[in-house]
Amino acid sequence: MEERIVAELRSLRARPAPATLLPAVLERVGLADRYWREESAVGPLFVAFSERGISAVVPALRGEAAFEREHFERFHRRVYAGLPPRGTAQAVARRLAGDRRARVRFDLRGCGEFQRAVLEKALEIPLGEVRPYGWVAREIGRPQAVRAVGSALGGNPVPLLVPCHRVVRTDGSLGEYALGSSAKRLLLEGEGVDVLELERLARCGERFVGSDTTHVYCLPSCVHARRISGSHRVAFSNARAAALAEYRPCRHCRPAPAA
């Protein structure tokens, strides 16, 4: 009997381990992610995930091998093709389509406290609206960290799902985007943002729009600003000018700290 057991154990040692064993073990101990391919308005994406949530969103233009290599270089975790947990792919597809009610968890282990705060604030920007970098900096309590906000958004590991494309320059112009300026324009236009009007206002130096009936001023893309008819629109170059005209900031878009 003992000899038979020993023989069986030796035979196990001679057999190669299943190809799925290493990925499963690495994933279980947090040293590997899985990914799937997802379609979006800007083309196909690779969406990586772990047990904690979505860990990366990357354009699928360069193929699987390049994505797997670059994922390891950035996060120091291997990534393998695999099916997402039940409901995750549907939630991601809904979020990509603009449904903010779709609940998506994120794995942001590689992000510091400041970057997490920036990304969480970007999540609050409504579909069809934009906010300047300075707005994000002020909202997280770091009003002088405008450049740092730009860097944090530029390193967003989960673009599109965390809508960093909705953050623009202080003057209202679109600015840069990790997936390219044309993708940023396409995404914003698809969400209903009047990009041409934003660019016109930026060229004219008009940063805020007020209503002479309510004496409230907003950021130009604010849902309330879009309801102001032409005859009642008042443009302001800065918050001080609006305050001197006795206009108060909108509570929805919060263009400046409320008095």
What's the full length of the chain, in residues? 259
Task: Report the 10 Å Cβ neighbour count for 173.
Answer: 14
Cα–Cα distances (Å) from 9 to 4, 14, 125, 185, in that order, read 9, 9, 60, 62
Of 164, 218, 222, 253, catalytic:
164
Task: State yes or no: is 164 an active-site residue.
Answer: yes
What positions carry a catalytic annotation?
164
